[in-house]
Amino acid sequence: MHGLLGSDYPLLNMFWTIFIFFIIFLWIFIAIQCVIDIFRSHDMGGVAKAIWLIFIFFLPMLGVLIYLLARGGKMQQHQIEAAKAQQEAFNSYVKQAAGTENTSADELSKLADLKSKGVITDAEFEAQKAKILG
Q: Give the percent of the chain with pLDDT over 90.
A: 39
Residue 80 sits in the same domain as residue 131: no
**b (16+ CB within 10 A) / e for 49-82:** eeebeeebeeeeeebbeebeeebeeebeebeeee
Residue 11 sits in the same domain as residue 40: yes
Residue 71 sits in the same domain as residue 124: no
Amino acid 101: pLDDT: 59
Amino acid 6: pLDDT: 52
Domain limits for position 131? 102-134
Amino acid 13: pLDDT: 84
Number of domains in the chain: 2
Residue 81 sits in the same domain as residue 134: no
Amino acid 5: pLDDT: 52
Please give the residue that has the higher pLDDT: either 9 or 116: 116
Q: How far apart are CA 41 and CA 62, in angstroms?
A: 20
Residue 47 sits in the same domain as residue 86: yes
Distance from the first to the final alpha carbon of the chain: 86
Average pLDDT of the chain, as a whole number: 85
Which range among 103-107, 121-125, 128-132 shows the weakest confidence by mean pLDDT? 103-107
Amino acid identity of residue 24, one-letter, is: I
